[in-house]
A and B are shown apart, each in its own frame.
Chain A
């Protein structure tokens, strides 16, 4: 059996709030193989955002082991963590999180800036990514000039441009009208069938149904086991 791409073992995350300790994740074990499309499903406050932050290398576990693409994350300092994010993860957020006053091309090219890719190569790859997502005629539009669905597709192009091992999507359809949401989900399914590993975090059962496997999380623990597709 190959080493899982995402591998959490006994991961806990405890927030210290004054003298109070809040346990956001309690002894979580998750293993996601390369090429899987997994939905993490849970109501708000269940700890799924904390899980997303840890899987996305934005945060470190308080205890337990997390290995991403063979790299143990707990030991990394902030700069190494940033380098790992840059190399291995593409984020898609609920609120798109595009750079305002920056056109689509620059937005998609931005992650490559931190990999030290030359300007011409950055623009070439960003343009190609936008064209793959049907936004070839929108490269010089700023986020404010794009619809929600278009903005989310720019964000997906940005997540794909570095060719990351893992796409991490946090409620990617949450701000979209249902038809645009469906479009985004079918896009994820396409990416999955093209071999991408996708982790989709949502509270919505219907959205989670798009994934090949669901992980239910409740009160900081994996609930009801893992449901295989």
Chain B
């Protein structure tokens, strides 16, 4: 018997008992749908986090001051005042470093007309846009000339500009920062991140200007380093460490008064965590798939018992054991495959809905449905073989007598 004949036989059988078939498939439908949806949610979350982290800058190393020590008390990371502009210049001179931006910051009230906002004022250099992966939306970014001259110009983050009611025609407009007049020279393209530490809610001004008006001393809050190529990350990181240890007079193996954060490292840690979570979720969802498979097996066993007489007739008119086996196996497979396909549609719909609500959009990976279909076929085989063997082994004489 050809597979087409067997599938036709199975479909006519399923069509003749639709409610039972639908209820049997429900287990597989729920199983496959939850696997597809949960994997998509996992992948969506991963891609959302990855996109956000990559938005921080490519090949980015961040150097932050370490913790300060007063007496025997060690303070929190970043409390030390150990980094200077000269450190930044020394790092900029290293091999493999594409750009460096030192930054200092202060919270100030920014006002434009009757609107105002308290936000982070960052004093930095012209390389900030390169290192932190910002593009300009309107006007221009800080230039080396404006930075060196220490003039009162400002580049606004997208959210800040919005809060101040400044749009595309605001280039050249006056704003006050901490009561001092500044000219807006540019507005940044939004990165889309939100929350209290949004990169879109800040004002960038020349380093010297910030130092002059808002931040005392000569320490630096952090240094962003853009490495030329991804494979140089570890090398440059080691170079920076050696250079800063020398400059700060720290013996090799001693406690550093700075920390270097690796963007790629963070990224791989995050994706490792989300991958583990995705596998965990899919594993839990697979349990329902197994339960669905057991449901199919149960129904097929009942079906073999109910159709014993039919099996007897089929054997008498020439069906071999393997014909009967194939008939019941294909019936179980058809049930699980149909359930699997409905489950995929349902799972994709649910993941699209969750994606829309959570904001990472519709993540569709064609591998997932493929795996789900194969898995549901596997379920059909595993849980269909036993009932089918029971059917195939029936003695035709006994089966014919069975009513």
Contacts and interface: CB of A to CB of B under 8 A. Distances in A.
Interface of A: 53, 56, 58-59, 78-79, 82-83, 85-87, 91, 93, 97-101, 110-111, 113-116, 119, 158, 162
B318 A83 contact: yes
B318 A114 contact: yes
B397 interface: yes
Contacts of A101: 16
A82 B400 contact: no
Nearest to B315: A82
Nearest to A162: B318
A229 to B, nearest CB: 29
Contact of B319 (A58, A82, A87): A82
B76 to A, nearest CB: 77
B397 A82 contact: no
B322 interface: yes
B16 A82 contact: no
Q: Is the interface of B mostly helix, strand, loop or mixed?
A: helix
Interface string B281-322: 000000000000000000000000000011011111111111
Contacts of A111: 317-318
A113 B5 contact: yes
A85 B318 contact: yes
A116 B1 contact: yes
B310 A82 contact: no
Contacts of A158: 317
B378 to A, nearest CB: 27
Given A58-B397, A97-B400, A110-B314, A78 B5 contact: no
B396 interface: yes
A82 B392 CA distance: 12
Interface of B: 1-2, 5, 16, 309-310, 312-323, 396-397, 400
A53 B397 contact: yes
- Most chain B CB inside 10 Å of its own CB: which residue of A58, A59, A158: A58
Contacts of B396: 58
Contacts of B321: 78-79, 82
A119 B400 CA distance: 26
B317 A110 contact: yes
Contacts of B315: 58, 82
B316 A85 contact: yes
Contact of A78 (B313, B317, B320): B320
A119 B313 CA distance: 20
Contacts of A86: 317-319
A98 B397 CA distance: 15
Contacts of A91: 316-317
B5 A97 contact: no
B310 A99 contact: yes
